[in-house]
Amino acid sequence: MGLLEDKVVLVNGGSQGVGAGIVRAAVREGASVVFTGRRAEVGEKLAADTGAHFVCADLADPAEARDSAVHAVDARGRIDCLVNAAGLTSRGSLLDTTPELFDQHMAINLRAPFFAMQAVVADMVTRKAPGTIVNIISNCAHGGPPHLAAYSTAKAGLAGLTRNAAHAHRWDRIRINGLNIGWTDTEGEDATQRAFHGAGDDWREKAAAAQPMGKLGQVDEIADFVVFLLSDRSGVVTGSVIDWDQIVFGGQD
């Protein structure tokens, strides 16, 4: 028996990176998975590889974020678990972030999870059924670097939303937790390092050597942790925003 045997899991932002890793891990652990993404070709390939159901969606549109739940219910009959994994990491400081960039970050990193959770929790409450939600947040919720001002703002909001919703729906037996992930080795991070930081082909090796554990965060390790939080094996824990990183916040040398 897998950790998510007979569970219906919706993964928003599941076509690549951490989200795709979660799709694979959830399928491996017995779940029936529906996932969303903007890139149809990438999503359809992952669906073919895993047997998960792909829905092409732009979560920046709150209607499409809400409709992700509708599509999942239509495809699988209900939703037991939700993962909000979509994220935008384009750079901008306090001084150079435009209103347009700020709004993009709010739309993907905060508004989309809000309205997806709204729809999923409504389904669970209507059915009087328990459920679990995991929000992929970021260690930037603690403050973040200067070049991620809007991103850090949105992720801090998502951490607050996670706790607020967990408290609001604890008596509905809906557990809601978040993961503040750190620097992670994904194809999206590779593109970001090259586009914004002039990184060469050896950036991963240099970055890994500068980390306490000698490596960046790994997608499969994060995915396994998310599956555990979604599953009954994580017990009663709710409202927790866990720092999944090798930085010790508050530690000093």
Q: What is the mean pLDDT of each run of 10 residues along the chain (253 residues)?
A: 96 96 98 97 98 97 97 96 95 97 98 98 97 98 97 98 98 98 88 87 93 95 98 98 95 90
3-class DSSP state of 182: coil
pLDDT of residue 190: 86
Buried b (16+ CB within 10 A) or exposed e, 18-47: bbbbbbbbbbebbbbbbbbbbeeebbeebb
Amino acid symbol at 142: H
**Does the CA dihedral 62-65-69-70 come out positive or negative?**
positive
Report the helix count and the strand count for the chain, using DSSP H and E.
9, 7
pLDDT of residue 107: 98
pLDDT of residue 64: 97
Q: How far apart are CA 79 and CA 132, in angstroms?
A: 9
Report pTM.
0.95
**How is residue 27 written in tokens?**
């399928």
Catalytic amino acids?
Answer: 151
